[in-house]
Amino acid sequence: MTSLVGASVVRKEDPNLLTGRGTYVDNLQLPRMLHMAFARSVEAHARLRSVDVSAALRVPGVVAAYTAADFPGLPSLGGPAPALERPTLAVDTVRFVGEPIAVVVARDRYAAADGVAAVQADYEPLPVVPSLDAALADGAPLLFPDLGTNVVNQIPLADDAEAELAAAPRRASLHLVNQRLAPAPMEPMAAAADWGPTTLTVWASCQAPHSVRNRLSALLGKPSHEIRVIAPDVGGGFGAKAAWYPEFVLAALVSRRLGRPVKAMETRSENLVAMTHGRDQVDDIEVGFDDEGRILALRVAITQGVGGYPYGDAVGLPFLTMIMAAGCYRIPKVVAGFKAVLTNTTPVSAYRGAGRPEGSYLIERVVDLVADETGVDPLEVRRRNFIPAEAFPFTTHMGPMYDSGDYQKSLAKLLEMIDYDALREEQAAARDDPARPLVGLGFSTFVELGGVGPSAMMEGFGMLGGWESASARVNPDGGVVLAVGTSPHGQGHETMFSQIAADVLQVPFERITVVHGDTAAVQEGIGTFGSRSTPVGGEAVKRASARLLEKATQIAAHILEAAPQDLQVEDGRFTVKGSPDRGVDWPEVANKAYRPTQLGDIEAGLEATARFDPNSLTFPSGAHCCVVEVDRDTGRVRIRRYVAVDDCGTVINPMMAQGQIMGGVAMGIAQALYEKVAYGADGQPLTTTLAEYLVPSAAELPRFELGHTVTPTPANSLGAKGIGESGATAAPQAVVNAVVDALSHLGVRDLEMPVTPERVWRAMQTNGGAR
Amino acid sequence: MIPAAFDYARAGSVEEAVALLGLHGDDAKLLAGGHSLLPLMKLRVAAPAVLVDIGRLADLRYVRDGGDHVAIGALTRHHDLETSDLLEREVPLLRHAAGQVGDPQVRHRGTIGGSLAHADPASDLPAVVLALGGTLVAAGPGGQRSIAAAEFFRSIFESALAPDEVLTEVRLPKVGAQPWAFEKFSRRAQDWAIVGVAAQRNNGTTGVALVNMGPTPVRAADAEAALAQGASAADAAAVADRGTDPPADLNASADYRRHLARVLVARALARMTG
Amino acid sequence: MRISLTVNGVAEEADVEPRLLLVHFLRERLGLTGTNVGCDSTSCGACTVLLDGESVKSCTVLTVQADGTEVATIEGVSAGDGALNPLQAAFQRHHGLQCGYCTPGMVMAATSLLRENPHPTEEEVRVGLEGNLCRCTGYQGIVDAVLETAAGGSR
C-alpha cells in the first residue's frame, strides 16, 4: 500500500460542507428553543448606573431579559487576579464599547433584536483611555484605579544591553507597530445550551471542547460528567475561539432558569467588537551591528495592548514575542521585555501566530534596516546571521531550543524559484523610467513556534498539560473509528489523521472515520491551537494506531498459529513473514476480536488509547519573497508575485499544508496592506462592519507560488512540526520589506501597517517626492 | 442585522406608488432593489415606518433608443446596464461604470433609479449621469417633470425628488463612440470609490464629474473650463479638485482625495486622447 | 403577508413579516441551513443564493421581494445522496474549502459567474468573486476549481 502520509488526499470533510450539510451551531434547531442576544455598552469607559430591561420585556416575543443582578454569584470570565476579572455581564463599570450589559431572550432572533434595542442603560462617562500612549501617559485615567497603573503585567528588561549596543560599530533604532486586528472568522461566535434535569449540553463554536466543559463545570458547580460540550462544524477560529465568552455561561444559566434550550449567535457587527482582537503590540528596538551586517546586539521593548480587561491571553503573548525576537539568527546579545497595558478597547487574545508574528515582523524589519544602513544585500545579511544548520538543536537567548532547521536551504530553494538578479535589474530599470511603477522586493526568512507543548510549559498557562489524546477502535466489520482530542475549525483533521492511521494499520483510508469535538464521544483532550494538531495530535493518533495494531497482531497470530513477532501487516492483510500464503485479512481479525470462542486466552476487544506529551516545541520555518509594484502617483501597492518556501518537517498532506500556508499568507498580506481595527479618541470603534474592516477578496490577492524543504523535527516520530500559523507569521514583513525596498531610493526607511496607498503617497512626498 | 419592523405596501403602478408616498409622507421610503436602503435598515441607521415596494413594476425596466437620447427605466438593474448592447453602442461610459458597482450579486439587484435617488456622493452612477449631462424624469402627484442631472443632487443622501415623487426614467445623450473614461480608485474591488472620475467628450466639450469629492457628485468645473480653453490634459487635471469639498474618513484624508482627483482626472483625460 | 415562491424546485407558501430577510426564511422557516450568514453589511457573500437564476445576497433581499420567484440554494444544486456536481467536485479536488462556512455562498456565486461567463480568465474569476469573502483558503483553490470547471473539468 502506497504511503498516505505525504499524499495529497482529497478531504473527507468536503462532501458535507460542499452540499450545505455543515453543522454549525446556528443550524441547531431544538424543540422550544429560545434565542438569546446581548445588549452591549455604547460607552468605552463609564460607570454603569443602571440597566433597565422593562421596555425589552414588553416587546412581543421577548420571554426574559436579565442583567448581572438577576444572577447572584454569576461567575466571572476570569482574569489574573480577583480584582481584575472580567464580569460575564457588566456590574458597575464598563470598560469597552461592546461589553455585554444585559441579555434578552426571545422566541426568535427578530424579537431578541427588538428587545436588545429596547434595553436602556444609564451611563456616567469616565475618561477614556483609547490608546497605548494614552494608557501610559502621566496622569492617565486608570481602568482599575486600585491597581494604580494601566500596566497589568510586565517583564522588565533583564539588562539594557547598553554596553553591547554602544560597543557595536553601528547602531540604529526602529519603532514598529503591529496593529490591532480582528480575527473575523467567517462564522461569528455562536453557542447553545440545553440544561435538562440531569445533563447540561452546550454547543460551542470553540477550539477546545473538553476545556470548555471543565471550565463550565468549575464555574457552574456542576460535575463534569453531567456536562457535554459539542464543537460541531466550526467556521474558522484562528485562536480567537480558544478564548472564553459570556455566551458559554449565560446560555447554560438561561436554559436552566427557563427550562428550554437557548441559542445565541452574534452578528458580524458584534463579532468585530466582542470577539477578542489580535496583535496590538508596539516594539521599540535598538540594534547594534557591524559594517558587514552582522547583528551584535538587539534590545526589544514591547508594549502589548491588552484591551479593557486582562482576561485573554494578551498578558502572556509578548512573552512569546520575546522568545522569538531573534528569529532565524544567531545574535550574541538579545534582551527583551514587555509591559502589558490596559486600554478601553476590546480584550486582546491569541490570533493566528499569537505573539510570534510580532517577533518575526520585528526581526525581519531589523534585518532589512541593517541591510539598508550597511549597503549589504538583505539576503546576504540574512545569510551572515543565520543559525547554521549544524548548530541545531539551537538554544535561543531565552532558553527554548529550536529543534531543527536549515535556513540556508530554504533560502536557496526560494532563490531557485525567483531570478533574483533579474528582479534587481528590473527594479533598477523601473526606478529610472517615470512611466513605470516602482518595483520592490521583500524577503521574510522566518521561524515560528508550534507543537505546543511540553506539559510543564502548558501547566503554566493554566492547562492540564500539553499532551494530546487519540483512541482507535475497530468495529467487528473492520471499520476503524478514531476519536481525537483536537478540535478542528477547517484544518481537515479527519483526513489527516486517517492518513496517519491508514499507514500504521494498513487499512484503507475510506474505512476510517474520525470523531472529534464532542466530550461524550471523545476521551479527555486538550484542543487545537498553537499549531499542535499534527505534531502532538498526529503523534497520538500514530501511537494509538500502533497500540491497536499490537492487539490486532496478537489476534492474527492466534488465528494463524504463529508468533506475533513473525507477522507483518500490509495492504489490509496480516501474513507470516516469508510465508505470504499464510495470512488473514483485517475484517476477519476484527470480527474474531469480538468472539471469545475464537480467541483462546486473549481478551475480546480491539481498541487502544494513547496520549502523547511532547518533550519539546517545534519550530517551523521558511523563506518567503514578495515582489510589489508601487504606483508612483497614487501610492497603491500591487503584489505581483508572492513566493513561499516553507519547512514544516514531514508533510502529512501537501495539498492541505499548502492550503494552510495560502490562508495564513492571505491573512498576513491583509495585515500588511488592508486591515486595522480603529478606535476614535472617545474609544468608539470605527471598523464595525466588513465594509470598514477590509478583509480582502480573491480580487485583492495574488496567486501564490509554493515550495517546501523538509527538516524533520525530533519532537515526534512523524517528524512533523505543524504549519497552521506559519503563513500569518511570515507574510506581513515580506510585503512591508518589499514596499520599503521600492521606496528606499527616496530615503524611506519604514512604513506603518497597513501600508495604505495614502501612507505610501505621504512617504513619497516626505522623503523626496514621487519622481 | 435585523431591521426594525415596518409596514409594507406593494405598488402596482407608478401612480399607486405616488399615492402611497403622498399618503404616508415622511414615514415612507421606496423599495426598488433594496441595495441602498436595506443595508441601512439592517444596521438600524434607517428605520422607515413604511416601505413602498416598486420592485415589481416591470415596465420601468428598459434600455431604449429614444431618438436623440437613450431612455433607461429607473428599475433597470446595474447588471442589465452592464450587459446592454445599446449602451455599449451609445453610452459606453454608463455600461462600463455599471459593471463596477459593488459586486455581481449587488448588480443583480441594485437599480439605476435606486442608486440615483439615494444620492450617495460615494456612488458611481450619480457622477456618471452628471458627467453625461443627463436628465431625470420623475412622476409626482402633479404629473411628470424632468430634472437636469446638474440640479438633481442636492446634498448627501438628498436629491431633488419631493417625498411623494418617484424617479421613473433616466435620459442620457447618445454619445456613441466619442471618448470617455471611468477611473475608480477603491481599496478592495467591492468597495465604494475613495475617489472616482467619470468623463465624457460630447461634441467638443468634455464633462468631468467626481465621485466622493463632496456632499454630492461634483463637476470638475475648473478642469472642464481649462479644457474648453485649450489647456493640455495635464494642466486641466492639475485644477481638477478646485471647488470640491472632499470628506476625510477612515479610507483617506481630504488632501489625499484632492491628490487622487487630480491624478485620476489626468489618467481619464489621457485615456481619452490616447 | 402571504407569499409563494419556488425553492429548489418545490412550491412554498408562507405568511411572513415584511422585514423577514430571505436568508432567515430559507434557514429557519424551510430548514435549509446550508446558506450561512457571515456579516451584516452585504459584504461577505456567505448568504449567496440564486434568485431566478442569478446570484443574490439573500441577507439583503426581503422574503416578500422574493414572492413569485425561483430560488435555488446550495441544497438545490446538490444531489441528495451527497454526490458532488462538477463545480463541487472541482472545489474538493483543488482544496477550495477549509472550514466550509463561506463555501455554499462561494459555490452559488461561482455557479452564477460561470453561467454569465462560461470561459473566464483568472482575473475575471477573481473579480467575479469580489463579493465573497473567505478567511481560510487564500482563494487560490477556489479560483482553480472555477477555472477547471469552466474548462470542462479536465481531470
CATH no. of A281-450+617-766: 3.30.365.10
Inter-chain contact C138–A665, Cβ cutoff 8 Å?
A: yes
A281-450+617-766 and A455-612 in the same fold: yes
Which residue in C18, C42, C132 is closest to B6 by CB distance? Answer: C18
DSSP H or E segment with residue B158: strand B158-159
Q: How far is B189 from chain C (nearest CA, A)?
A: 6
Residue A252 in contact with partner chain C when CB distance is under 8 A: no
pLDDT at residue A770 is higher than 60 = no
Asked whether the beta carbons of A455 and A746 are under 8 A apart, the reply is: no
**Residue B168 dihedral angles phi and psi, to the nearest 5°:** -115, -30
Distance between CA atoms of residues A757 and B111, nearest Å: 31
B40: nearest CA in chain C? C41
Inter-chain contact B7–C61, Cβ cutoff 8 Å?
A: no
pLDDT at residue A131 is higher than 80 = yes
Nearest to A219 by CA among A36, A65, A78: A78
Distance between CA atoms of residues C123 and A605, nearest Å: 57
Average the pLDDT over each of A178-182, A315-319, C19-23 and give the range with the smallest value: A315-319
C-contacting chains (≥3 CB pairs under 8 Å): A, B
pLDDT tens-digit map of A578-623: 998 999 999 999 999 999 999 999 999 999 999 999 999 999 999 9
**Domain boundaries of chain C, sorted by first residue:** 2-72, 86-150
Q: How far is C86 from chain A (nearest CA, A)?
A: 11
Q: Please report how the helices A654-673 and C140-150 are oriented relative to each other, as an axis angle in degrees rounded to 10.
A: 120
pLDDT of residue B274: 62
Question: B58: Cβ–Cβ under 8 A, 6 or more apart, which residues?
Answer: B75
Inter-chain contact C57–B6, Cβ cutoff 8 Å?
A: no
What pTM did the predictor assign? Answer: 0.98
Instruction: Using an 8 Å CB-CB cutoff, list chain C residues near A516.
Output: none
Alpha-carbon distances of A663 from A709, A723, B181, rounded to whole Å = 19, 11, 36
Distance between CA atoms of residues A30 and A269, nearest Å: 26
pLDDT tens-digit map of A258-273: 999 999 999 999 999 9
Q: What is the mean pLDDT of chain A?
A: 97
Q: Which three-class secondary structure state does DSSP give residue A282? A: strand
Q: How far is C94 from chain A (nearest CA, A)?
A: 8
C52: nearest CA in chain B? B108
Strand C70-72 with B153-155, pairing: unpaired
For residues C43, C45, C48 and C53, what is the CA-based torsion angle, rounded to 10 degrees?
80
Inter-chain contact B2–A686, Cβ cutoff 8 Å?
A: no
Asked whether the beta carbons of A306 and A131 are under 8 A apart, the reply is: no
A-contacting chains (≥3 CB pairs under 8 Å): B, C
Instruction: Using an 8 Å CB-CB cutoff, list chain C residues near A18.
Output: 74, 78, 84, 88, 91-92, 97, 100, 103-104, 107
Residue at grid coordinates 487635471: B237
Strand A394-395 with A401-402, pairing: antiparallel
What architecture is domain C86-150? Orthogonal Bundle (1.10)
Query: How many whole angstroms from its chain centre is CA B33?
Result: 14
Question: A723: Cβ–Cβ under 8 A, 6 or more apart, which residues?
Answer: A450, A531, A534, A620, A646, A648, A651, A657, A660, A661
Neighbours of B83 (CB within 10 A): 16
Question: A291: Cβ–Cβ under 8 A, 6 or more apart, which residues?
Answer: A169, A170, A374
pLDDT of residue C155: 38
**Residue A262 dihedral angles phi and psi, to the nearest 5°:** -135, 140
Beta strands in A495-654 (DSSP E): 512-515, 567-570, 573-576, 579-585, 607-612, 621-630, 637-647
Q: How far is C131 from chain B (nearest CA, A)?
A: 5
For residues A383, A384, A386 and A388, what is the CA-based torsion angle, rounded to 10 degrees?
100
Q: A203 pLDDT band (50/70/90 cuts)? A: very high
Asked whether the beta carbons of B218 and B243 are under 8 A apart, the reply is: yes
Mutation target for A interface from B188, B253, B255: give the one with most A CBs within 10 A.
B188
DSSP H or E segment with residue B256: helix B254-273
pLDDT at residue A448 is higher than 80 = yes
Distance between CA atoms of residues C135 and A304, nearest Å: 25
Print pLDDT tens along chain B (274 aa).
999 999 999 999 999 999 999 999 999 999 999 999 999 999 999 999 999 999 999 999 999 999 999 999 999 999 999 999 999 999 999 999 999 999 999 999 999 999 999 999 999 999 999 999 999 999 999 999 999 999 999 999 999 999 999 999 999 999 999 999 999 999 999 999 999 999 999 999 999 999 999 999 999 999 999 999 999 999 999 999 999 999 999 999 999 999 999 999 999 999 998 6
B-contacting chains (≥3 CB pairs under 8 Å): A, C
Inter-chain contact C98–A109, Cβ cutoff 8 Å?
A: no
CATH topology of domain B180-273: Enolase-like; domain 1 (3.30.390)
Q: What is the DSSP letter of A43?
A: -
**Domain boundaries of chain A, sorted by first residue:** 31-126, 281-450+617-766, 455-612
pLDDT of residue A771: 37
Distance between CA atoms of residues B50 and B21, nearest Å: 9
Inter-chain contact B105–C57, Cβ cutoff 8 Å?
A: yes
Give, rounded to a whole angstrom, the gap between the first and last alpha carbons of chain C. Answer: 49
pLDDT of residue A97: 98
Asked whether the beta carbons of A235 and C99 are under 8 A apart, the reply is: yes
A638: nearest CA in chain B? B187
In CATH terms, A455-612 corresponds, of 3.40.630.10, 3.20.20.70, 3.30.750.24, 3.30.365.10, to 3.30.365.10
Show which of residues 696-735 on chain A sit within 8 Å of chain C, judged by CB atoms.
696-699, 701, 703-704, 727
pLDDT tens-digit map of C7-41: 999 999 999 999 999 999 999 999 999 999 999 99
Asked whether the beta carbons of A469 and A383 are under 8 A apart, the reply is: no
Residue at grid coordinates 471499520: A479
pLDDT tens-digit map of A714-765: 999 999 999 999 999 999 999 999 999 999 999 999 999 999 999 999 999 9
Q: What is the mean pLDDT of chain B?
A: 97
DSSP H or E segment with residue A536: none
**Angle CA A30–A35–A39, to nearest 5:** 160
pLDDT of residue C153: 63
Once rounded to an integer, what is the mean pLDDT over residues C101-120?
98
Distance between CA atoms of residues B192 and B128, nearest Å: 14
Q: Where are the alpha helices (DSSP H) in A483-530?
A: 493-505
pLDDT of residue C79: 77
Residue at grid coordinates 539568527: A329
Alpha-carbon distances of A530 from A43, A176, A281, rounded to whole Å = 34, 24, 19
HSE toward the beta carbon, residue A144, CA cutoff 13 A: 19
Inter-chain contact B108–C41, Cβ cutoff 8 Å?
A: no
Q: How far is B266 from chain A (nearest CA, A)?
A: 11
**Domain boundaries of chain B, sorted by first residue:** 7-53, 58-173, 180-273
Q: What is the DSSP letter of B255?
A: H
Nearest to A537 by CA among A210, A225, A236: A210
Alpha-carbon distances of A14 from A28, A492, A506, C8, C82, rounded to whole Å = 20, 9, 24, 21, 10
Inter-chain contact A26–C37, Cβ cutoff 8 Å?
A: yes
Asked whether the beta carbons of A523 and A469 are under 8 A apart, the reply is: yes
Once rounded to an integer, what is the mean pLDDT over residues C90-108?
98
Question: A411: Cβ–Cβ under 8 A, 6 or more apart, which residues?
Answer: A379, A382, A383, A386, A445, A623, A645
Residues listed for chain B: 274
- What are the grid coordinates assigned to A210, written together? 473538553
Distance between CA atoms of residues B32 and B38, nearest Å: 10
Percent of the residues in chain A that have a pLDDT greater than 90, as a whole number:
97
Residue at grid coordinates 507543537: A451
Q: Which three-class secondary structure state does DSSP give residue A25? A: helix
Residue at grid coordinates 476590546: A346
CATH 3.30.310.50 is the classification of domain C2-72? no
Which residue in B2, B38, B190 is closest to C60 by CB distance? Answer: B38
**Angle CA C118–C121–C122, to nearest 5:** 120
What architecture is domain B58-173? 2-Layer Sandwich (3.30)
Residues listed for chain C: 155
Q: What is the largest CA-CA distance in chain B?
A: 57
Alpha-carbon distances of A323 from A141, A338, A396, A400, A533, rounded to whole Å = 32, 12, 8, 7, 22
Q: What is the DSSP letter of A418?
A: S
Nearest to B73 by CA among B158, B139, B164: B139
pLDDT of residue C48: 98
pLDDT tens-digit map of A478-532: 999 999 999 999 999 999 999 999 999 999 999 999 999 999 999 999 999 999 9
Which residue in B1, B44, B185 is closest to A634 by CB distance? Answer: B185
pLDDT tens-digit map of A614-664: 999 999 999 999 999 999 999 999 999 999 999 999 999 999 999 999 999
CATH topology of domain A31-126: Aldehyde Oxidoreductase; domain 3 (3.90.1170)
CATH topology of domain B7-53: 3.30.43
A187: nearest CA in chain C? C38
Nearest to A47 by CA among A122, A120, A106, A116: A122
Neighbours of A204 (CB within 10 A): 28
Q: For the residues of C121-134, what is the DSSP string, one character each?
A: -HHHHHHHTTT---
pLDDT of residue A768: 57
pLDDT at residue A167 is higher than 80 = yes
